[in-house]
Structures are given as C-alpha cells and as structure tokens.
Amino acid sequence: MKWSFAVLLVLFGLANLQGQEDGYALVNGKYFPYTIDECGDTLILASLGGVSISAPRTFTNAEDQKRYRRYRRYALKVYPYAVEAIKIFREMEEVTNDMKRRDRKKHIRRLHKQLKKEFTDPLKKLTKTQGMILMKMIEKELDKSMFKLIKDLRGGWNANYWSAAAGMFGHKLKKGYIPGQDPVLDAVLNDLDISYQISRN
C-alpha cells in the first residue's frame, strides 16, 4: 500500500536556529519550515513522496522465498539505474514531443552518445539476472517491451540486433513485462516505485 504523508523530522544542535521561534532552515540544499518546541527541539516539516508499505511476504516453498530475497537484493542494486532511465525517457519525450522527425532523431543520437559514455561500464558489470530485473522494471513502468522501446528510439535494425544479442542470454526482448508470469518477480517490482512525473511549473 502506498501513502503520501508529511513527517516531522527532528534535528538537534542547529546553532544558528537557537532562540528563534520559527522560520526556514536549509537542509541538503532545500528550505523547509521549522519551529522550536517548548523543549528547545527544532522540528522541521518535510513532505515526503510515496512510501511503500507491504505486509510480510509468505511463500509456498523455501525456494521461492530464497529467490525473492535474491531478486530484492538485485532490484535494490539496479534501482538507481531504473529511476534514471525512466527520468531520462520522460524528459526526452517531453523535449522531443513537438520536434520534427529529423530533429528528434538527432536529439536522440546525441543523448545516446552521452548516455553510452556514462552508463556502459557500470551496466557491463551487472549479472544476467540483475540485467533482466532492470529491464523488467523499465518495461513495467513504461508499459512497453524493451524491443518496442529500442525500435521507437533507435530504429528496427537496432531493435533486432539487441533482440538477437539478448536471446543468447535467455532474454526475450519482444515479450516485455507480463504481470502474473513470475509472482516472485511481481512481488519485488511492486515494492519499488520508479515512476517519474515531469514538473510543469
């Protein structure tokens, strides 16, 4: 179950806030309202994003429980890459939305070169299972198969090339994420939120 709520964070020893009743405090580059209570403690009000709360998992056998733990550990390792991939994809969609086809292709080509430099080495170090979980996270959020994503962004030839390459490792890029196909994987992915909304302020 996901809840969005405000939480009171208690910070002690903020020397520059001593003797003041309320105001704003700079924390990690952002300003938050604060007040000082009757005990002299500084209370900062911060609004947090969605928090995932799930009941303890029950499994029909020890093997599924072991696989859940392994998948969860791997999912937490690739989580930052999934979040960044979704963010980049959403922002790219927004930027290229009104572009002509030719300009869009140029923009995507430039972005591809930049991302290749940044992510090739760390992604090469992922295991086969970690790579699969990363792909499923992205497919689940975007509701598209990896094959379709590559085809839309880089063309049919690239999509077929990567589909064949992935096939050598047992991955089927054309299938995409299918809820219910692997209940253990579903349980892990449902615990993690990688959504990203474009801010239009």
Q: Which residues of 18-38 are buried (b: 16+ CB within 10 A; e: fewer)?
A: eeeeeeebeeeeeeeebebee
User: How long, in residues, is the chain?
Assistant: 201
Segment among 34-48, 81-95, 118-132, 144-158 with least mean pLDDT: 34-48
Token pair of 29 as six digits = 């580059």
CB of 47 closer than 8 Å to CB of 36: no
**What are the pLDDT digits (tens) for 31-80?**
778 777 777 777 777 666 655 556 567 788 899 999 999 999 999 999 98
